[in-house]
Amino acid sequence: MLLDGEVVRSCITPASAAAGRSVTTIEGIADGDRLHPVQEAFAEHGVLQCGFCAPGMVVAAAALLRGTPRPTKAQIVEALNGNLCRCGTYPALVAAVQEAANDVGEANQR
């Protein structure tokens, strides 16, 4: 999740740390009914993850693209490093974030 726009691990962040701060979860990433490009890319690339992994990965990737619209593979891996998935979806995940970066970049050029 994001606390005041910064990625934090919700599983180890005490609720008291969120007092008076802006909290953004996976539900706040989309724009109403319109999915965030990262969410769309995850679906297109078949990044099938559990209810623990997907929210953390999507939120972290969206935060990465906000600050680094054209990340390298190494930057993507580093940004998602705190989310440990045991299901082997990392290759599809990186590809999805790269595609989302292209979508975000195109949207910014419009």
Q: What are 6's strand-pairing partners?
A: 3
User: Binding mask 26-65 vs ligand FES (x if CB under 6 A, - otherwise)?
Assistant: -----------------------xx-xx------------
Rounded to 5 degrees, what are φ and ψ at 24? -120, 125
Quote the least distance from Cβ 85 to ligand FES, whole Å.
3
CA atoms within 13 A on the CB side of 29: 24
Interface region with ligand FES, contact rule CB under 6 A, candidates 38-46, 71-79, 84-92, 101-109 = 84-92
- Among candidate residues 87, 109, 95, the one with its CA nearest the CA of residue 38: 95
Q: Rule CB under 6 A: is residue 11 a binding residue for ligand FES?
A: no
User: Which parts of this chain interact with ligand FES (CB under 6 A)?
Assistant: 49-50, 52-53, 85-87
